[in-house]
């Protein structure tokens, strides 16, 4: 069997952006798991909380847009966070048709514990902050390009 890496094969697994992204995503999210478990959060729930810690209240539509998740995927996450006492869902006083998500006192208090997560992830990765910031910038550009290509 020949080694496709030497041939410049455009179908070589190691050359696929989708493969690198999938493996990196799984591995990085796995680093978060032991940090989030004591907080009672999954990684998707953590992302919801990050958005709400940044600005709350948010409508489900706004939250869906920020997280780039469809409302059907977001709804069960919000239900579990509400059952855990971290968020409250209710009709927006400005627009009764909109469902607003707000942090509870317990949800706001959890932010102090979550502040320990970014430095712990940087330490676990063993990479320089500037490297991670450059990677974030490149991934943000990739997300934008992919979103434009799909629409």
The alpha carbon dihedral of 10, 14, 18, 20 has a sign of: negative
Q: How confident is the model at residue 99 (pLDDT cuts 50, 70, 90)?
A: confident
144 vs 142: CA distance, rounded Å: 5
Task: Assess whether pLDDT exceeds 90 at residue 3.
Answer: no
* DSSP string of 35-63, one letter each residue: HHGGGT--HHHHHHHHHHHHS--EEHHHH
Q: Tens of pLDDT along 6-50? A: 568 999 999 999 999 999 999 999 999 999 999 999 999 999 999
- pLDDT average, residue stretch 104-130: 97
Q: Does domain 41-115 have CATH number 1.10.10.10?
A: yes
76 vs 54: CA distance, rounded Å: 21
SS3 90: strand
User: 57: cis peptide before it, omega within 30°?
Assistant: yes
**Residue 143: what pLDDT?**
95
Listed by start position, the domains of the chain span 41-115, 118-151
**Residue 127: what pLDDT?**
96
**Residue 95: what pLDDT?**
67
- pLDDT average, residue stretch 101-127: 97
**Residue 37: what pLDDT?**
97
Q: What is the pTM of this model?
A: 0.89
Contacts 24+ apart (CB under 8 A), 36-45: 36/117, 39/110, 39/113, 39/114, 40/84, 44/69, 44/77, 45/77, 45/80, 45/81
Task: Assess whether pLDDT exceeds 80 at residue 128.
Answer: yes
**Residue 118: what pLDDT?**
97
Give the other-Cβ count within 10 Å of 37's Cβ: 10
Q: Tens of pLDDT along 52-96? A: 999 999 999 999 999 999 999 999 999 999 999 999 998 866 666
* Residue 42 vs residues 1, 19, 59, 79, 80: alpha-carbon distances, Å: 42, 23, 21, 13, 10
């Amino acid at each position: 069997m020949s080694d496709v890496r030497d041939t410049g094969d455009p179908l070589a697994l190691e050359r696929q952006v989708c493969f690198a992204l999938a493996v990196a995503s799984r591995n990085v999210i796995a680093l978060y798991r032991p940090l989030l478990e004591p907080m009672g959060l999954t990684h998707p729930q953590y992302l919801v909380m990050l958005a709400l810690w940044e600005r709350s209240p948010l409508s489900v539509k706004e939250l869906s847009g920020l997280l780039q998740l469809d409302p059907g995927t977001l709804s069960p996450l919000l239900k579990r966070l509400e059952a855990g006492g971290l968020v409250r869902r209710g009709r927006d006083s400005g627009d009764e048709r909109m469902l607003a998500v707000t942090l509870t006192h317990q949800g706001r208090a959890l932010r102090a514990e979550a502040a320990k997560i970014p430095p712990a992830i940087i330490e676990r990765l063993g990479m320089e902050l500037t490297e991670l910031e450059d990677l974030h910038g490149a991934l943000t550009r990739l997300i934008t390009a992919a979103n434009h290509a799909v629409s």
